């Protein structure tokens, strides 16, 4: 079985050991550090898209269209938006955060029982990618398969805290509903049949994975990242962020923009498969996470992916002589090998799929 190229160090243990300087493996090159200025960010004031989903499929046709329009603009211009009135219970969101906080607060020994390997990534992990000597991110995580049900193996989900499995299952169920609604809205906006994206992802066999990300306090947050720059390889991601500290940054027009999370909101992130399928009408967003010396952080991500053996390519309706298909067709299984081997790499993967245009 494939294993990690170096001994796994839990970032939480490092953080709790009280070190004043972070080990070299976590120090990013200058141009990738959080305070490095890429573009004009000193001068640009931007509001990131915030969308109220209450009327998305309500009775009022004007409000429906208005909501659809906002989603359309956000997916085309940003590749992400914050959503409120998203239908996921706030009480359940709070409970889900709490069980994962409780999990990461367990003694190391209890967590190590779930230590993961790079073959499936399922379980308790501390790195993405198997490149020896790579710069590492300042975070630990727990990754699990939620859908299809045939891949759901609850024995690999934490047994402690005792409500963990039940809460993850319930939370997942509500987020799946939100995802389905959003995929419908996106299909309609792209001029496709309402069920198009969902069906192209495999319908009832669509994949969904869950990752709880834990960002321990960091004594030198200016030198490292909690999660380095990447676009999500799958279809869409629904992220429950921390509300008390702004950590997530998105790349927009050459600047890293910090997302100030609206309490109760969920963040919707467009992934590479939607960019491929929409023939780049929608863009996946490059994003990263910064860390903090005063407060640790927790985020819960649900990734919705095409069934692993389906070939993903531009929808026929979005390909024409003037706008030929931009990316090579590929199964998601094949596509995600890159992320699994190399870890986060900005948007390198999708760019490598671009056909050479004469």
- The residues of the shown chain that bind ligand OGA, judged by CB under 6 A, are 211, 213, 227, 232, 239, 241, 247-248, 287, 289, 299, 301
Q: Of 222, 231, 227, which Cα lies nearest the Cα of 126? A: 227
By beta-carbon proximity to ligand OGA, the closer residue of 158 and 233 is: 233
What b/e sequence results for 301-335 when a residue is b if at least 16 CB atoms lie within 10 Å of its CB, and e otherwise? bbbbbbbbebebbbbeebeeeeeebbbeebebeeb
By beta-carbon proximity to Ni ion, the closer residue of 56 and 227 is: 227
Residue nearest to ligand OGA (CB): 299
The CA distance from 247 to 156, in Å, is 29
By beta-carbon proximity to ligand OGA, the closer residue of 147 and 227 is: 227
The CA distance from 163 to 339, in Å, is 31
Q: Give the pairing of strands 287-289 and 123-125.
A: unpaired
Q: Are 328 and 355 in contact (CB under 8 A)?
A: yes
* 347: Cβ contacts below 8 Å, ≥ 6 apart: 230, 231, 272, 284, 286
Query: Among residue numbers 230 through 259, which ones bind Ni ion (CB under 5 A)?
Result: 232
By beta-carbon proximity to ligand OGA, the closer residue of 249 and 278 is: 249
Residue nearest to Ni ion (CB): 232
By beta-carbon proximity to ligand OGA, the closer residue of 97 and 184 is: 97
Contacted entry of ligand OGA, Ni ion, none for residue 299, CB cut-off 5 to 8 Å set by kind: ligand OGA
Phi, psi dihedrals of residue 318, rounded to the nearest 5°: -105, 10
What is the rounded radius of gyration, in angstroms, for the C-alpha atoms of the chain? 20
Considering the complex, what minimum distance in angstroms separates the CB of residue 305 from ligand OGA? 12
Contacted entry of ligand OGA, Ni ion, none for residue 122, CB cut-off 5 to 8 Å set by kind: none
Residue with tokens 């994206």: 197
Q: Build a one-symbol-per-residue string for 213-232: x at contacts with Ni ion by CB under 5 A, - elsewhere.
A: -------------------x
Contacted entry of Ni ion, ligand OGA, none for residue 296, CB cut-off 5 to 8 Å set by kind: none
* 204: Cβ contacts below 8 Å, ≥ 6 apart: 148
Considering the complex, what minimum distance in angstroms separates the CB of residue 349 from Ni ion? 13
* Interaction between residue 140 and Ni ion (CB under 5 A): no
By beta-carbon proximity to ligand OGA, the closer residue of 211 and 349 is: 211
Q: Give the count of alpha carbons within 13 A of 78, CB side only.
A: 23
Considering the complex, what minimum distance in angstroms separates the CB of residue 184 from ligand OGA? 23
Considering the complex, what minimum distance in angstroms separates the CB of residue 132 from Ni ion? 24
By beta-carbon proximity to ligand OGA, the closer residue of 141 and 196 is: 141
- Binding interface with Ni ion (CB under 5 A): 232
């Amino acid at each position: 079985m494939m294993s990690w190229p170096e001994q796994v160090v839990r970032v939480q243990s490092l953080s709790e050991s009280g070190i004043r300087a972070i080990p070299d493996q976590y120090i990013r090159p200058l141009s990738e550090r959080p305070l490095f200025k890429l573009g004009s960010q000193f001068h640009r004031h931007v509001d990131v898209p915030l969308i109220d989903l209450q009327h998305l499929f309500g009775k009022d046709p004007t409000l429906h269209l208005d909501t659809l329009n906002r989603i359309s603009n956000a997916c085309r211009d940003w590749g992400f938006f914050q959503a409120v009135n998203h239908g996921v219970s706030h009480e359940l969101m709070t409970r889900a955060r709490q069980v994962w906080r409780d999990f990461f607060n367990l003694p190391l020994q209890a967590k190590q029982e779930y230590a993961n390997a790079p073959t499936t990534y399922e379980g308790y992990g501390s790195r993405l990618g198997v490149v020896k000597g790579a710069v590492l991110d300042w975070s630990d995580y727990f990754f699990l398969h939620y859908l299809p049900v045939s891949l759901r193996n609850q024995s690999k989900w934490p047994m402690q805290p005792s409500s963990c499995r039940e809460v993850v299952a319930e939370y997942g169920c509500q987020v799946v509903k939100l995802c389905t609604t959003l995929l419908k809205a996106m299909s309609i906006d792209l001029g496709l049949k309402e069920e198009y994206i969902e069906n192209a992802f495999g319908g009832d066999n669509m994949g969904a994975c869950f990752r709880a990300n834990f960002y321990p306090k960091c004594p030198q947050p200016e030198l490292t990242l909690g999660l380095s720059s990447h676009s999500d390889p799958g279809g869409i991601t629904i992220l429950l962020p921390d509300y008390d500290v702004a950590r997530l940054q998105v790349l927009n027009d050459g600047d890293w923009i910090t997302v100030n999370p609206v309490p109760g909101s969920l963040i919707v992130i467009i992934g590479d498969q939607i960019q491929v399928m929409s023939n780049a009408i929608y863009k996946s967003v490059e994003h990263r996470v910064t860390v903090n010396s005063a407060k640790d952080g927790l985020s819960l991500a649900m990734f919705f992916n095409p069934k692993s053996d389906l070939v993903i390519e531009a929808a026929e309706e979005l390909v024409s002589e003037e706008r030929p298909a931009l990316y090579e067709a590929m199964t998601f299984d094949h596509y995600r090998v890159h992320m699994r081997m190399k870890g986060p790499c900005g948007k390198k993967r999708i760019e490598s799929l671009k056909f050479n245009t004469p």
